[in-house]
Amino acid sequence: MAVAAVLGAVIGGVVVNANKSDAGGPRAGAPAQQAAATCEATQVAEKTLPSVVTISASKGNTGGTGSGEVIRKEGYILTNNHVISLAADGGKVSVLFNDGSSVPATITGRDPKADLAVIKVEGQSNLQVIPFGKSSDVEVGQPVVALGAPLGLSGTVTSGIVSALDRTIQVPGDNGEMALLVSAVQTDAAINPGNSGGALVNCASELIGVPSAGATIPSSEAGGGSAGDIGLGFAIPVDLAKSISDEIIETGTVTHAYFGVSVVTVPSGGVYLRSVVPGGPAAKAGLQAGDIITAIDGNPVNSTTDLAAVTLTKNPGDVITVDYTRGGQKASTKLTLGAER
């Protein structure tokens, strides 16, 4: 069955491909989860919905909706970049709270590469902040609840389980470039257009992921119509979302790790260095145009996406081990990642 992933916001109904299919297994040493097959969704909804909001973004006659969650009592709200990117240049953003009140919001900062953003509302008191869980505690098979505004239907709650971990999913980003969902949490809880930026929580009502993409059967395989949710949704893991949102709030921007190379995927495996930036991290590590990177820190590199994932999960200044081949000869080097905004 052909399956394509689509952005989970009303304004982002673009078909994209899931490019990595290895499933993560249960995490060793993770705490025991609830024995029940599902969370007590009623209790989770009661605790969590006051923290979940519906976000509307518009520019001119174009607009759409998505979801978000309050992450700081000062009025900061976490969402996906693709939910609010339409309004980033002269547009408007508004937030609808669970109690029915609606207020304007401003964009604090965006990270198009990771598809995350933070917005802020002013003059609101007693905002209920969603508690953060930990990515290391998430297990395959544990029950979860997704909350958001699919198709603009605010306060929608769906439940399911964590189906897999460590997915890498490409989705359309700004200016024709691709964003990357790294180490994404896969769930069978219904994720539909408009859920983007909302909350995927555990049974303790703790945020464990930011729903960002869902899968549908292409219309050609569904008799020409939309198949809707098919039980394949993907969420940005909470640790990455927290790290990026903290940086946005503190600095207004995000700094990612930088290799200083131009690459293409080699069909037989690895990435070919088309060019190396003079004086950049790769050049300083001794890499040259024509080299083929085959592994990083012992993990196989099969495509340019694997290299891009490193820039999102590592920090500038981190030292990595790069395995590569040059003229058919295997070699290894230490590379200190640079910084790129």
Task: Give per-residue pLDDT as tens, 225-271.
Answer: 555 667 899 999 999 999 999 999 999 999 999 999 999 999 888 99
pTM of the model: 0.84
Q: Which helix (H) or strand (E) holds 108?
A: strand 102-111
What is the structure's pLDDT at 78? 98
The active-site residue, picked from 196, 212, 245, 303, is: 196
**Domains in the chain, ordered, with CATH?**
4-22+130-249 (2.40.10.10), 48-120 (2.40.10.10), 256-340 (2.30.42.10)
Residues 93, 105 contacting (CB under 8 angstroms): yes
Residue of 111, 115, 306, 323 marked active site: 115
| pLDDT per residue as tens digits for the range 278-337 | 999 999 999 999 999 999 999 999 999 999 999 999 999 999 999 999 999 999 999 999
Q: For residue 128, how many other CB atoms are within 10 A of its CB?
A: 16
196 is annotated as an active-site residue: yes
pLDDT at 20: 34
Residues 107 and 257: their CA atoms lie apart, in Å, by 24
Q: What is the pLDDT of residue 221?
A: 52
Dihedral over Cα of 295, 297, 303, 304: its sign: negative
Report the pLDDT value the prediction gives residue 287, as an integer from 0 to 100: 97
Let me know how long the chain is.
341
Give the position of tokens 């709650």.
Answer: 157
Q: CA-CA distance, 235 to 166, in Å (whole number)?
A: 10
Instruction: Fill in the amino acid letter for 245.
Output: S
* Among 51, 56, 67, 82, the one annotated catalytic: 82
Band the pLDDT of 28: cuts 50, 70, 90: very low
Band of pLDDT at residue 176, cut at 50, 70 and 90: confident
Q: What is the pLDDT of residues 84-112, one digit of tens each?
A: 999 999 999 999 999 999 999 999 999 99
